[in-house]
Amino acid sequence: MTDPNAPRFFRLRCIFIEQGRLAMLSHLEVAHTLERTVRRAKLPFAVSQGFSPHMKIAFGAALPVGVGSTCEIFDLQLTEYVAPDKALAALRAASVPDLMVQECRYIEGKAPAASVAFPTSTYEVVFEAPISVAGIKVPETVTVVRKRKEKTLVVADYLVQPFAAVEGSPERVTFSLEAKPTGSLRPDVLLEHCTLPARTISITRIAQR
């Protein structure tokens, strides 16, 4: 049932990059920073009702500390329509360079939340030197500690696209991991458990779908 008198919101989906030193920020730090960015941009954001009102903003799946991205997502509820290019310009003027909004578009009010809509992430790894994909040895399982409990993850359940070479860039490879409702495997943790032919320089999320 929808309430015809419910206030109308505009749901703006924003894609941003997280790169350089700022890849070292925690999810919470990124979230705080983006809220402040939205305020500086003076967008007409919606505020929740009640005891301690806060901005209606939702973030995509958390990026591990140390991993960069070209495709992070946050969804913002606006109380007024602002043309996407205007919103983008305002956000960019209020952003720090390495945490820069790249794209804004409106999405359906009922569209699934960014945090669950894109279970599969593709990562790009840059190595210190050119490597051959065959040189990467992937373990069958990875044991992680979560909430003080050990948990053994079967890599094949998560690694939906195995390591693949990037044409023309012999020092780069890509791979994709899928998040499951029961948990997920972090890209940096997977790499730590792999036998690698060279030292890694960076890990970047390059696609979410």
Name the site residues for other proteins (rule: CB under 8 A). Answer: 20-22, 24-26, 28-29, 32-33, 35-40, 42, 47-48, 51-55, 65-66, 94, 96-98
Cβ-based nearer residue to other proteins, 127 or 158: 127
Cβ-based nearer residue to other proteins, 45 or 163: 45
* Alpha carbons 33 and 16: distance in angstroms, whole number: 12
Cβ-based nearer residue to other proteins, 155 or 189: 189
Q: How many CA atoms lie within 13 A of 193 on its CB side?
A: 17
* Alpha carbons 37 and 48: distance in angstroms, whole number: 18
Minimal distance, residue 50 CB to other proteins, in Å:
8
Is residue 198 within 8 Å of residue 131, measured between CB atoms? yes
Cβ-based nearer residue to other proteins, 48 or 141: 48
Cβ-based nearer residue to other proteins, 12 or 159: 12
Minimal distance, residue 171 CB to other proteins, in Å:
18
- Give the C-alpha distances (Å, rounded to integers) separating 20 from 83, 116, 202, 203: 30, 26, 9, 11
Minimal distance, residue 40 CB to other proteins, in Å:
4
Percent of the chain that is helix, strand, coil (3-state, to 5) = 20, 40, 35
Minimal distance, residue 20 CB to other proteins, in Å:
8
Minimal distance, residue 156 CB to other proteins, in Å:
29
- Give the C-alpha distances (Å, rounded to integers) separating 22 from 54, 65, 68, 98, 151: 25, 9, 8, 6, 30
